[in-house]
Structure 1
Amino acid sequence: MTSPAPRFLVIGECVADVVRVDGAPDRVHPGGSPANVAYGLARLGRSAMLLTQLGDDAHGRLIRGHLEAAGVTVRADAVERTPSAVVELDGDGRAQYAFDIGWTLASAELPFVPGHLHLGSIAAVTAPGAAAVLELVEQWQGRAGVSYDPNVRPALMGERAEAVRRVERCVALSEVVKASDEDLAWLYPGEGPESVARHWLALGPAVVAVTRGAAGAFALTADGTREEVAAVPVPVADTVGAGDSFMAAFLHTRAAGAPLSACLTHAVTAAALTVSRPGANPPSAAELATALAR
């Protein structure tokens, strides 16, 4: 008997996050924004496959084991070494990244009909692999839901105007888009996040959500709805993976048919649980339910 097709197909990079804090030994956490989203979806009980690249090395084995333990199906092209990032944390737990990464994903035929495709971060805009990602998205657009999180990494984005062009192409292919206010500030200096969100809506998405850290999050829809929620206050261990947990919980809740306000509430709660503990460690369905019940 064949296993059921994954509901969510996530396309993008895995990264070994080498977390560095003054006075403490390095800690290695499985990471990469798309990988974190796939992991977060699986932790919430969704069937998820990750189309990615991994090396046959210690970092690659760590990441694969981490993902598969949560129930993610991993389909990975082999590369010489698994991408990595040195993550330096400031006194407030905010992360700065220095990357050793490439993205060369080849075009691929999918072994199933996806219900939803999620793309984001480095893999969506980095040549040559981004071409294969966009080819898949264009193939399935209109037949599957599509979501996108630019998760901007300035050191890897190149010249700003070209980065905006690549990001906006992904936005235009997507039904749901999520970005942080920091992403938007880098892409569109001097423009307010709500102004950018409305600009993106005009490109085609049904929903644009914007996270604002301790200020919470808001979302706009193509039909004129606006919802905003406050952040959930928690002691911050670090901010690694917070946006990815937000994205996973938002998609999970939206797939269940919940209203926009509930999607945002679930998402900010999942993000709060993630920042309260080290690394990209999104909540399980039971943890999220318990936190929401409080």
Structure 2
Amino acid sequence: MILCCGEALIDMIPTPVASGGTAYAPHTGGAIFNTAIALGRLGAEAGLLSGVSTDGFGEMLVASLQANNVGTDHLIRSDRLTTLAIVHLSDGKAVYSFYDENSAGSAITLADLPALPDGISALYFGGISLVAEPAASAYEALMAQAAGNCTIVLDPNIRPGFITDEPAYRARLARMIAMSDVVKVSDEDLDWITPEGGTLTDRARQMCEAGPQFVVVTKGEHGVTVVSRDAELDSPAVPAAVVDTVGAGDTFNAGLMVGLSRVGLLDKASLATATIEDLRPALTLGAQAAAVTVSRAGANPPWATELEGLG
């Protein structure tokens, strides 16, 4: 199983109405939730560990997980409110405003976390769940507990406007990067994490030297660059008619993990001996899946059948 650990929320998406104005329609979302959904649709055995409300929005989240083949045994239910993310689209690119204080997701503690069963091959972390306390510390502690036995994949998916204590967040992120096997960042994330400059490859390699086996940098239409301590690999993007980019990175992450699993590299020991070239099929699958997502509105990742026959 791939267990996704982090936020599940409601995206309020701007939607034109007949009167000519704009309404905001609720859609299930959150970086970690979106990746779990994409994993389920791509045929992976996936589960979500998250704080989820018992309110109406929380029930929407649970129903969506179940409809997309994602396990819900690790959800932590409470009567706290669901996090809301107001989505603003600018030239097809999503910008978010979050309403998260004391929410069902951000209020979980280490004591709330369920025991991890046998059979989990990888844990995936990231998103805004690494910002708000006490949940952020709980997820960090969970990573520390699991890192010795499970492959750890991290995508910070940084939202600068959501970060209230930047020094504490940067320190937590550095500790979690050091415990990770694979770190995926966008080029914008990399700029935020390493503002001191240098080439993309140099900065990604510095991150590798802190702990990860591989750092994967997505560059939108310019494809992906993967860096290890001693090698570099570029992989092209898949052309697509872009409607918006909501959920694109999350879908890429799911394709990457499914691709690694298909070639036996999601196992921690196998990944430790992998070459950078071994990642190429997984990068291709991630790009193919992301291309489908950006071609339609919202975080709507493809099902495995939609990718059949692609090279």
After TM superposition, is the score higher than 0.5? yes
> Is contact 2:130–2:169 with CA below 8 Å preserved after alignment?
no
Moved more, 231-240 or 154-163: 154-163
Structure 1 unaligned blocks of 5 or more: 1-6
Structure 1 residues 34-62: Cα deviation after superposition (integer angstroms, max 9, x where no partner): 11111111111111110111222222121
> Is contact 1:21–1:88 with CA below 8 Å preserved after alignment?
no
Structure 1 residues 179-225: Cα deviation after superposition (integer angstroms, max 9, x where no partner): 10111222333524322211110111111101111111111123x23
RMSD: 1.7
* In structure 1, distance between residues paired with 2:238 and 2:35: 20
The percentage of counterpart residues that share the same residue type is 36
State the shift of 1:105 in Å.
1.8
Residue matched to 1:97: 96
* In structure 2, distance between residues paired with 1:69 and 1:21: 24
Residue matched to 1:37: 35
Asked if 1:220 corresponds to 2:238, the answer is: no
- Residues paired across the two proteins, number: 284
Structure 2 counterpart of 1:184, which letter?
Answer: L
> Is contact 2:8–2:52 with CA below 8 Å preserved after alignment?
yes
> Is contact 1:227–1:260 with CA below 8 Å preserved after alignment?
no
The within-5 A match list for 1:67-86 is: 67-74=65-72, 75-77=74-76, 78-86=78-86
Moved more, 95-104 or 125-134: 125-134
Partner SS, residue 308 of structure 2 = helix
Structure 2 counterpart of 1:148, which letter?
Answer: L
Structure 2 counterpart of 1:41, which letter?
Answer: L
Partner SS, residue 255 of structure 2 = helix
Residue matched to 1:283: 302
* In structure 2, distance between residues paired with 1:217 and 1:163: 26
> Is contact 2:11–2:84 with CA below 8 Å preserved after alignment?
yes
* In structure 1, distance between residues paired with 2:181 and 2:124: 10
TM-score (norm 2): 0.86
Structure 2 counterpart of 1:133, which letter?
Answer: Y
The within-5 A match list for 1:1-294 is: 7-20=1-14, 23-74=21-72, 75-77=74-76, 78-90=78-90, 92-101=91-100, 102=103, 103-107=106-110, 108-113=113-118, 114-191=120-197, 192-222=199-229, 224-257=230-263, 259-290=278-309, 292-293=310-311
Structure 2 unaligned blocks of 5 or more: 266-277
State the shift of 1:111 in Å.
4.8
* In structure 1, distance between residues paired with 2:95 and 2:160: 11
State the shift of 1:12 in Å.
0.3
* In structure 2, distance between residues paired with 1:252 and 1:225: 23
Partner SS, residue 155 of structure 1 = helix
TM-score (norm 1): 0.91
Residue matched to 1:4: none
> Is contact 1:8–1:48 with CA below 8 Å preserved after alignment?
yes
